[in-house]
Amino acid sequence: MKILPYDLTPDELAFFTPKWTGERFDDGRPRVPDEELDGIARYSSITHAWGVCREVGYTRQFLGGFQSTMPGQTMVGRVLTALYLPLLPDTREAMLNAGHARGEIGDMISWPIQRLTERDVYVADVFGKIDDGPIVGERLSSAIYARSHNGCVHNASVRDIDGIIGIAGFNIFHRGVHPSHASPHTIMLGGINCPTRMEGVTVMPGDVALAKGDCVIFIPPHLARGCALSGMVVTYRDRFAMERCSQKVYTSGEIDAAWREDIETDFVRWLDDQPDVPFTMEQLELTRSRRLW
């Protein structure tokens, strides 16, 4: 019997993420390679990642309206989800007792944190609550960072904001600040590592969260490689385009449309003069033919 209503087994999670064919964590989550996370962090904008997702039918991956404790910083990592539900006292008591009997420690809001691994992003949905919304303050934020060395997307308010800001390297995207505490009086944990609806977005365990500014996009894991590589190429295309426009080699109309073959040839020649280009000509061709996703 499961402790929580929504806690997928590794086999169940593999079933619900069928396009991922790479390595998985023991809990079943897709393990997107670190180099792909690094590529997305360095080269992918929110707009670019949204375009990649949208092109292949993933049209509900973007969520805005957050506040960030590290404005201007980009956060990228593998998603571990926690789904919270409005309180049913008897149900909560039964789950809490069962959890303690199986070795869980403390209140249930700490249970997902114990499952975090390096570079995870803890994605917790408390249905946007402000008053009685916080499940995260400075203590649990410190625990999140200690286990993941990454941050959190918290669809609710947070508390102890001064203490949270004081945790070096920790970034939390949240809906506001409130001094109250959600647990145990108003919410209960419904699931860990389960599909989670965060407003109009379905978030899956193992998605790649890309957060910057006041928004987050959740990239399906099988699209992470294409997003990282095409982000590199787009970054260099943009540099080339701005340089050639400033030199008045091409008009804005020419450079902002699908490029003619002579412009593509000029771009390849330009790449030869750039130091440490992070992609090969073969990879460039893959992005042109859209065979990455």
Same domain, 168 and 238: no
Averaged confidence pLDDT in the chain? 95
Q: Is the pLDDT of residue 288 over 90?
A: no
Block residue for tokens 């920790």: 170
Q: What is d(CA 138, CA 136) in angstroms, rounded to the nearest whole number?
A: 7
Is residue 262 located within the same domain as residue 210? Answer: no
Q: Tens digit of pLDDT for each residue in 218-227?
A: 999 999 999 9
Describe the crossing of helices 224-246 and 46-55 by its angle, rounded to 10 degrees. Answer: 120
Residue 208 lies in a domain: yes
SS3 139: helix
> Is residue 78 located within the same domain as residue 211?
yes
- Residue 1's pLDDT is 72
The stretch 125-130 carries a mean pLDDT of: 95
74 shares its domain with 184: yes
Q: Report which residue type is found at 11.
A: D
The predicted structure's pLDDT at residue 75: 98
Same domain, 122 and 243: no
Q: Give the range among 7-11, 111-115, 288-292 with minimum mean pLDDT.
A: 288-292
If one counts the domains in the chain, the total is 2
pLDDT value of position 43: 96
187 CB neighbour count, 10 Å cutoff: 23
Same domain, 115 and 256: no
pLDDT at 210: 98
Domain limits at 199?
Answer: 6-31+59-219
Same domain, yes or no: 232 and 210? no
Residues 239 and 208 reside in one and the same domain: no
Match 């593998």 to its residue by tokens.
Answer: 78
Of residues 19, 28, 97, 83, the one with CA closest to residue 56: 19
Average pLDDT of the residues in 105-117: 96
Residues 253 and 169 in one domain: no
208-212 and 75-86 beta bridge pairing: antiparallel
Q: Which of 219, 247, 267 is the endpoint of a domain?
A: 219
pLDDT band at 184 (very low <50, low <70, confident <90, very high): confident
Residues 234 and 253 in one domain: yes
- Contact call for residues 140 and 163 (beta carbons, < 8 A): no
pLDDT above 90 coverage of the chain, percent:
95
Looking at residue 66, which CATH number applies to its domain? 3.50.30.40
Domain boundary among 219, 243, 264: 219
* pLDDT over threshold 90, residue 292: no
Same domain membership, residue 181 and residue 215: yes
Residue 169 lies in a domain: yes
pLDDT at 290: 73
* Together in a domain, 197 and 263: no
pLDDT value for 2: 84
| Residue the block writes with tokens 């809001």 | 109
Mean pLDDT of 246-260: 95
- Determine contact, residues 119/34, Cβ cutoff 8 Å: yes
Q: Measured in whole angstroms, how far is the alpha carbon of residue 11 from the centre of its chain?
A: 22
Last residue of a domain, one of 197, 219, 241: 219
8 Å CB contact between 182 and 152: no
Is the per-residue pLDDT at 94 higher than 90?
A: yes
Q: Which residues pair with 121 in a beta bridge?
A: 79
Q: What is the pLDDT of residues 207-250, one digit of tens each?
A: 999 999 999 999 999 999 999 999 999 999 999 999 999 999 99
Banded model confidence at residue 293, pLDDT cuts 50, 70, 90: low
Angle at 217 between CA 213 and CA 222, to 5 degrees: 145
SS3 24: strand
49, part of any domain: no
Report the distance separating Cα 209 and Cα 68, nearest Å: 14
